[in-house]
Structure 1
Amino acid sequence: MTEGNDGIALGVLDGLMGYHMRRASAVFAGDFSRAVADTGMRQVLFGILSIIAANPGINQGNVGRALGIQRANMVALVNDLVDRGLVNRETAADDRRAFALNLTPAGEESVAAVLERIRVHEDALLSDLSATERADLVALLARIEAKEVSA
């Protein structure tokens, strides 16, 4: 049985995957926040920008679905990105009720700058893992994500 950082035995927690995933997620989230603190970027905003960068002209609703963001929350988040000058929002040509999203040049620069910091942050946290182990970890986590249970 392993012990926590303070030498206290974890008991049944030691064998629970969810416990270790939550703790690892907290470590990543905290380090991410420190790595990008002076950029004003948050994980959710970077996620939205990344989806838009990979899918120019994507429907706002599709971005929200891809990231699991509620529609009302998505509107506020996109408004924030538009106000910052990182995203252009236009009425979609194929559906006049929807908005198509594209990065502005400032949005493209922001994604590149933040991504550079994220890579440094991830390299530091994953320095004990080989490239193969990192790829395996991402693949295993993706398999778990694919089983997302609807509430």
Structure 2
Amino acid sequence: MTTSQFLEQLAGAPVAHGLFDKVGDLQHGRTRLDLESYQYDPVRKLPLYVFKLLADDGAVVGQYHFAPGDPDQVGEIGNAGGHVDAAYRDKGHSKDCIKALKSLAWRHGMASFIVTCPKSNGAARTALQQVGKEIDRQDGDMCFYEIPAT
């Protein structure tokens, strides 16, 4: 689930907040991440990237966010999360998105990053288990996966 409804526009230049002003080509398989905006999460006090997910035919299939930083700092939402629109689910877009985000995490000097998803989202959980490992964090409704950045 993305947190766009809770976010604010990032004040000032992205680099002033530790974000890259050019993220490069983030793509894996048939899924490309198109930088939509730089946002600020006032609850966690973190800057983050917001991406549109695009299929190989150019269709917008969902949205993801990525907040670089230590997992303890990013809290219960993790470093990354988002959604794939219903019509495009079960086609590997979420898994490809996470794989594409590895290079951005690596550029930020992160060895790994945390992705969250609801326990009720079996398809997302299966995809995340294929690219990372579930870690034990006590949060009633959410699952946490550690994804290596290499």
TM over 0.5: no
TM norm structure 2: 0.28
> Greater strand share, 1 or 2?
2
Specify which structure has the higher proportion of helix: 1
Q: Which has the larger radius of gyration?
A: 1
